[in-house]
Structure 1
């Protein structure tokens, strides 16, 4: 090979090497890592093992870093990061006011024009939209459903079937008590369970779901009205069927009482499913809150829990939008709902669930109206806090130290102390 040819060959090789290096550098430059802020640190392994690999497989060039904080520290930590300009690209959004405040400060970007946002109803978007409903700032992800989880072996041994009406429910509780077992595992020590798994669980059948909740916001209904008082009155009927000393029974106590097989029924949120399936050595079943009489329409607490939004000051807006579009897809709905039994997609996608107990809860959405917890939108922005008032009076009703009428009056007094309905 002559010198000129040798030099040409070497030059060509060098150019190819440089071109290759350039392509590699360009490819690396295109790779971005999105950091996801969340309070769900219990989900870390699920994200690492299932959700992150699924997204990255279909979105080459985008990596995900799921970086949760402790639930009790999340709001303060996220606000500090936002103010300091160091928050992640994707923000797990708590329902209602905490996320609304972030949007109002300019920290969350609107998602009205996001591809896939049409897969969510206005009701699903309520928790992450402005009060007028015109701007949505987080993609709805998951909800939790209220109902009752029961010990199927205990039911079978006693020849019992899930009740459909309130009268059937009380008759069933009488049979369980007569057999020497604890009918209901619920305590009042921590208060929130009496409200969340008690009052808010059975209440939608009385105030007919969302219309009853929205009427309180509009000021056309009061907590002293018959539907709300009736829910507390029904809660009061549970008192004889609780364990001895239930007034000192904490949330973990109630969980243990049920999973150890010492109580027949647990007034539940669907979030209990993974824990109960792991700890109980007996088969589990579920039934929705019984209606007042046969033929009445049914309503369930289908409460918005988590969404995902985009940091308006994030460094990778296009990649962040790509992630949110995936969150709005059928693929994510199916993956998330099956990876986390008891957390149900808020999208209109039909998801086939692999977990039988979760599937029972989800099936109620097809036949019953849905309801968000009463005071989570707007009604708990002032002081004193209405949601905490509901906790307190519900526990007192369960303890027998407050009547249903007194409970309604106390909560309405709390609301009236600061809230003025629109136009009034």
Structure 2
């Protein structure tokens, strides 16, 4: 082969090699798989059948795998994976301190520059921010709303209307009790957390004015011995007469069963029950927000941040992960997720159309009521005694009648004072 032919062959070979390498490089650039870490193992079908196909259709070349852990093992398993550098690209975020600790360890990325974060309010973002509110590290996904679910058939048979004020609320309970065919309210105190979550944190924001009182407690300008924090306990103490015989030994599943079997007229709870109750009940359900203290008062609801999604700071696919998180922040994701899991509401500031009538009814309260989050979840439960757990105990004690509302407030404030010093 002469030099000219050799050069031509070499050039052709080089061009061929370059084109093959280019094709391989292009394929590699498109061949990205994102793995999602989550504790929501019951959501696996929703991700596999609805969410992931929708994202992949709009983002060819990015594949997504949903890799849930057992809920009780998630925090430990995720921590071990993050420490070892083996965690997935996308991290499902618990609200408040658990996720904040991951960010402070450098394991979650800041999302301040993520375009989709503009779709969320400050309250929505509060569960996944630094204490100063300057850095967000997870996209807000879903919240649960507290209130009261009721048996519409029972209300009609007894002849009571949906109460709007506390006076109307207790008048309805009295009428249901006098009728004798239904337990007025299904709630027990054996499991403790119900008394706080379905009781104190449900009606309390009406007294401490939602975010105003919650932030004042963190700032130290209000105390748990103040009237705004003791008065909800005075109201809870009245619930005792309407919970039925043996409520002190009644568990959470017991309460659920009493309501779904049609034996109780009202269930103080949260929207997370909607998807549980829908296939179980054979009566019509309705819902009403916590009654206001008197006509004309502002309505407040606990619209509690429950789940967010963030980025592993050590992901090898940051651009693809950012695309995915922007999609999580979109109306498309919010609409699919909220309708697949009725009662877990999108935290987006944009209005999301819901198909489930009870879910739509509850989320509609956001238009007329001011939203807040559970008072114990941000900052105030980092020490010992843990204010969240202590609130469970004292709420149950108040309803059981073993302590007074004033004693409950004093014990909770004393415990908080023992370790928490508000920032000056």
TM-score (structure 1 length as normaliser): 0.94
Match of 1:3 in 2: none
Measure how far apart 1:18 and its partner are: 10
- Counterpart secondary structure, 2:137: coil
- Counterpart secondary structure, 1:116: helix
Native 8 Å contact 2:123 2:372 kept in 1: no
**2:325 aligned with 1:295:** no
Match of 1:98 in 2: 98
Match of 1:360 in 2: 361
Match of 2:179 in 1: 179
Native 8 Å contact 2:109 2:313 kept in 1: yes
- Counterpart secondary structure, 2:420: coil
Q: Give CA deviations for 1:181-214 in whole Å, capped at 9, x if unaligned.
A: 1000000011001000100000011111000000
* Unpaired runs of at least 5, structure 2: 1-11
Match of 2:46 in 1: 46
Q: Give CA deviations for 1:198-234 in whole Å, capped at 9, x if unaligned.
A: 0000001111100000000000000000011011111
- Counterpart secondary structure, 2:115: coil
Q: For 1:308-319, list aligned pairs within 5 A.
A: 308-319=309-320
- Counterpart secondary structure, 2:111: coil
Match of 1:62 in 2: 62
Measure how far apart 1:339 and its partner are: 1.4
Measure how far apart 1:25 and its partner are: 6.9
Measure how far apart 1:330 and its partner are: 1.4
Measure how far apart 1:175 and its partner are: 0.9
Q: Give CA deviations for 1:114-155 in whole Å, capped at 9, x if unaligned.
A: 011111111211111101111111111111000000111111
In the aligned structure 2, how far is the partner of 1:367 from the partner of 1:191? 31
In the aligned structure 1, how far is the partner of 2:266 from the partner of 2:68? 33
TM-score (structure 2 length as normaliser): 0.94
Match of 2:381 in 1: 380
- Counterpart secondary structure, 2:267: strand
In the aligned structure 2, how far is the partner of 1:208 from the partner of 1:133? 21
Q: For 1:342-353, list aligned pairs within 5 A.
A: 342-353=343-354
In the aligned structure 2, how far is the partner of 1:48 from the partner of 1:400? 48
Measure how far apart 1:375 and its partner are: 1.0
Q: 1:400 to 1:105 in 2, by over 3 A?
A: same
- Counterpart secondary structure, 2:279: helix
Match of 2:260 in 1: 259
Native 8 Å contact 1:151 1:265 kept in 2: yes
In the aligned structure 1, how far is the partner of 2:395 from the partner of 2:216? 21
In the aligned structure 2, how far is the partner of 1:153 from the partner of 1:195? 28
In the aligned structure 2, how far is the partner of 1:25 from the partner of 1:102? 34
Native 8 Å contact 2:338 2:354 kept in 1: yes
Measure how far apart 1:17 and its partner are: 12
**2:216 aligned with 1:220:** no
- Counterpart secondary structure, 1:349: coil
**2:358 aligned with 1:370:** no
In the aligned structure 1, how far is the partner of 2:33 from the partner of 2:393? 45
In the aligned structure 2, how far is the partner of 1:338 from the partner of 1:17? 51
Match of 1:391 in 2: 392
In the aligned structure 2, how far is the partner of 1:190 from the partner of 1:245? 13
Measure how far apart 1:337 and its partner are: 1.2
Match of 1:9 in 2: none
In the aligned structure 2, how far is the partner of 1:371 from the partner of 1:325? 25
Match of 1:110 in 2: 110
Number of aligned positions between the proteins: 414
Runs of 4 or more above 6 Å deviation: 15-18
Q: 1:262 to 1:16 in 2, by over 3 A?
A: farther
In the aligned structure 1, how far is the partner of 2:164 from the partner of 2:278? 24
Measure how far apart 1:23 and its partner are: 3.5
Measure how far apart 1:414 and its partner are: 1.0
Match of 1:133 in 2: 133
CA RMSD of aligned residues (A): 1.9
Native 8 Å contact 1:333 1:349 kept in 2: no
Q: Give CA deviations for 1:314-336 in whole Å, capped at 9, x if unaligned.
A: 11111100000111111112111
Q: Give CA deviations for 1:225-279 in whole Å, capped at 9, x if unaligned.
A: 0011011111111101002111111111110110011100100110000011111
In the aligned structure 2, how far is the partner of 1:237 from the partner of 1:41? 39
In the aligned structure 1, how far is the partner of 2:351 from the partner of 2:293? 30
Measure how far apart 1:26 and its partner are: 3.2
Measure how far apart 1:16 and its partner are: 8.8
